[in-house]
Amino acid sequence: MRSKAETLQFLHGQLSSATVLPLYCFNLNQWQNQREQIWLDLAELTWTKLPVIVRSSALNEDSELTSMAGHYCSVLNVSGKYALEQAIEQVAAGFQGRTDADQIFIQPMLSQIALSGVAFSQEPSTGIPCLVFNYQECSQDTTAVTGGHSNELNTWHYYLHNNPTPPQSRFRPLLDLVSELQLKLGISALDLEVALLQNGQWVLLQVRPLVLENSLDGSQHLNHMLELQGFLKPMQSPHPFLYGQHTVYGVMPDWNPAEIIGIRPRPLARSLYQELITDSIWAYQRHNYGYRNLRSFPLMVDLGGCPYIDVRVSFNSFIPATLPPALAEKLADYYLKRLVETPSYHDKVEFEIIYSCYTLDLPQRLKALQDHGFSQEESDLLAESLRLLTNKILHQETGLWQKDIAKLEILTQRRETICSADLGPIDRIYWLLEDGKRYGTLPFAGLARAGFIAVQMLNSLVQIGALDPSERSLFMQSLDTVSSRIQRDFQAMNRSDFLKIYGHLRPGTYDILSERYDQAPDRYFGEAIQPTVHPPFSLRLEQLKLIRSHLQEHGLNLDVLELFDFMKAAIEGREYAKFLFTRNLSDVLEEIAGLGRQAGMSREDCSFLDIQSLLRLLNTSGDLNQAIKHSVEAGKAQYSLTQSLLLPPLITQPEDIWQFELQPGEPNFITLKRAKGPVCFVGAAPESLKGTILLIPSADPGYDWIFGYGIAGLITLYGGVNSHMAIRAGEMGIPAVIGAGEVLYSQWQKARELELDCATRQVRVLA
């Protein structure tokens, strides 16, 4: 087996698709005993007169079992004999448990670089056969991507092998290089570091075997992808009962499944989310609140087990029911076109793309429509429809959000009745879900809509100059949500009483494998820190007058205090509704776990169940245990397919599944504060969280416990500007980056220390 340096020596001058730089290599024994000869050899090489890079080539680097990537140091831009000797000693000192056979090699330092990065011949986590290229534009530091220490933005490019679409011409030579290396080295799974020079020449900097945990049948995967492409073809066609000439599928718009259940959820979590929200409840709520009737349309589609939102359906559901069909059609096409042109808005569609309610800055925002072929009359008609809809929702006496809050009390009462009744497990699951929908997720969806309107209204007060950003933050900190009550009650109550109220919560709300608070209290709770006391929020007299005049001018039928009461109640009510309906859901998960035990199934097995397979057993005499086993087997087969899929977060046309890029998005910065600290991840002991920048995958309410331990800042992979964690961070006054996206999250999780500067909307890698 060749070392890293020996592999590059072997490939030097042998590749047609890329260049391998010349190199000079020696081992530690030679450096100790033949140093004069090494200096003589180096003096003979013309390229050593220019800056060089000194690199390691340890015996345990780049093996078929372990890469040790990034474990040893390299020294860049070395000039002169003294500096070169110091650099060699630095690299030599970095070898741990070193042997005389460990090598050091020297190469010319690259310049005129257009981009550099790391490429894989297979997706490292899943083994999916595709080119994965993580690169940085115009980076003169070829270690920037591998080291994770750069504040530059990385891009991920994916191209599935053997697919029917041609690759981007820019990356065709890189694909040729991978094929050439596979042939010459006799290894199919490769990890390589490359650079593209400004003259178009590719340079191979390093190649090693890619250590994979999973292998995949390439032909079977290709068949699955072809089936998926066939399923997606109708997305480019009109639908007789929908506005918009085509659709788009996304994991983050609207009821963003990526945030709630993840991009590859197990069948039980996915089917529960469909049952409770995305099959019908979501549409009933929208129609009740004055939007178009989409009650026959599921919102979420299943792409090989990966949940996606049908964006055309979503955008139709935000169109006021009173809007004329011609204008509704034009508006739907505009919304879809805007999303395709600005995909970074896929987690902010309601704030950046669509118009779903009347706000005090709406006339200014509607001016953008005139640049896209909308007349002033059409803009005015849309504004009037939104004004009528918004007044109906906000009304202090007849507003639907108040009726939704009242329904929550019915949910609490009926849950106690269901849990104490002498019902069989299937009956109990059925009624917990039925009540969970009628008195839980339906009012929750209404309050979530009201919460969105509240946040948009609050933002519009900043836009018109009635509040400044710091006052908006102060208002958010004045909220009294379930999350803040958790922190207070943990301080005031004994553990038993505390868990009776909050014990049903779990970090993965829909995940049967996620332990409830009352199942693992020591994991979630240690010695909490005293809650922060924030100054009260209040309005000055001139602000009251200004806001009152704007409300009257825009025809919004409520006074200033009623507006602020609504904003406070809607945001708090949304969090309370979520807290209550998750009790029913958590009980359902425990009932399913109990059924699984009776059938000889573990929780792991039960995670592969489809909830419909259980609900079909209601009022039947079928073999329950056999039905569970069949559903688990089918779910495992389905999930095996799901794990083999690598799909873009936004699918704008069927061909997108074969080749796509993940660009750094625009995350949501919460508060105007700054924080810095060491990077920490969920799973660490609670007492170790103090002063850290905590990274978590989602904005799920089950993570509320983290706020009791003095974290300095928060970053989530998924989540929108109005997500639970965004509201919670604003309420607590904790600097947060919500919905960083895969590119930025992947980059920041490599860091040891980060600084969040929310006022300037920046995250800096400190170490």
CB 553 within 8 A of CB 362: no
Query: Measured in whole angstroms, how far is the alpha carbon of residue 69 from the centre of its chain?
Result: 26
Give the tokens for residue 279.
């099959």
Consecutive H or E run containing 444? helix 442-463
Q: Nearest Cα to 656, choosing from 229, 132, 235?
A: 229
DSSP structural state of residue 144: H
Bridge partner list, 103? 27, 57
Q: How many residues does the chain have?
A: 767
Consecutive H or E run containing 714? strand 713-716
Question: What contacts 695, CB < 8 A, 6 or more positions away?
Answer: 679, 680, 681, 682, 715, 716, 717, 745, 748, 749
Give the sign of the dihedral formed by CA 632, CA 636, CA 639, CA 641: negative
Q: Nearest Cα to 100, choosing from 51, 144, 58, 40?
A: 58
Strands (E), 556-712: 650-651, 659-662, 668-670, 674-681, 693-696
Place of tokens 């100059």: 465
Give the tokens for residue 4.
């890293």
Residues 250, 256: Cα–Cα separation, whole Å: 8
Residues 448, 254: Cα–Cα separation, whole Å: 11
* Rounded (to 5) percent helix, strand, coil in the chain: 50, 15, 35
Q: What three-state secondary structure class fits 675? A: strand
Sort 37 into a burial class: Cβ within 10 Å, 0-12 / 13-18 / 19+.
exposed
Query: Measured in whole angstroms, how far is the alpha carbon of residue 764 from the centre of its chain?
Result: 19
Sort 398 into a burial class: Cβ within 10 Å, 0-12 / 13-18 / 19+.
exposed
CA angle in degrees (0–180, nearest 5) for 681-682-683: 110
CA angle in degrees (0–180, nearest 5) for 722-726-731: 115
The DSSP annotation for 607-630 comes to TT--HHHHHTTTT----HHHHHHH
Residues 470, 475: Cα–Cα separation, whole Å: 9
Catalytic entry in 221, 346, 504, 724: 724
Assess whether 724 carries a catalytic annotation: yes
Strands (E), 227-267: 249-250
Question: What contacts 497, CB < 8 A, 6 or more positions away?
Answer: none
Query: Measured in whole angstroms, how far is the alpha carbon of residue 496 from the centre of its chain?
Result: 35
Strand 713-716 relative to strand 736-738: parallel, antiparallel, unpaired?
parallel
- State residue 726 phi and psi, 5-degree precision: -65, -45
Q: Give the catalytic positions in this structure.
A: 724
